[in-house]
Amino acid sequence: MDGSRKPLAKVEGRRRMRLSGMTVAFRGTPNLDDWVAYIANGTRSRKLILADHVSERKVKTLLTRCQTLSRTEIEKLAKG
Q: What is the pLDDT of residues 43-54, one digit of tens each?
A: 666 778 999 999
**Those residues with Cβ within 8 angstroms of residue 43's Cβ, 6 or more apart along the chain or in another chain:** none
Output phi, psi for 53, to 5 deg.
Answer: 55, 50
Q: Parse the chain into domains and list their residue ranges.
A: 11-77
Among residues of the chain, what percentage have pLDDT more than 70? 89
Amino acid found at 77? L
- Give CA–CA dist 28/7, Å, rounded: 13
Among residues of the chain, what percentage have pLDDT more than 90? 68
Residue 51's pLDDT is what?
93
Residue 43's pLDDT is what?
64
pTM of the predicted structure, to 2 decimals: 0.83
According to DSSP, the β-strands at 35-39 and 11-16 are unpaired
Residue 80 has pLDDT above 60, yes or no: no
Output phi, psi for 63, to 5 deg.
Answer: -65, -40
CA atoms 18, 23, 13, 32: torsion sign: negative
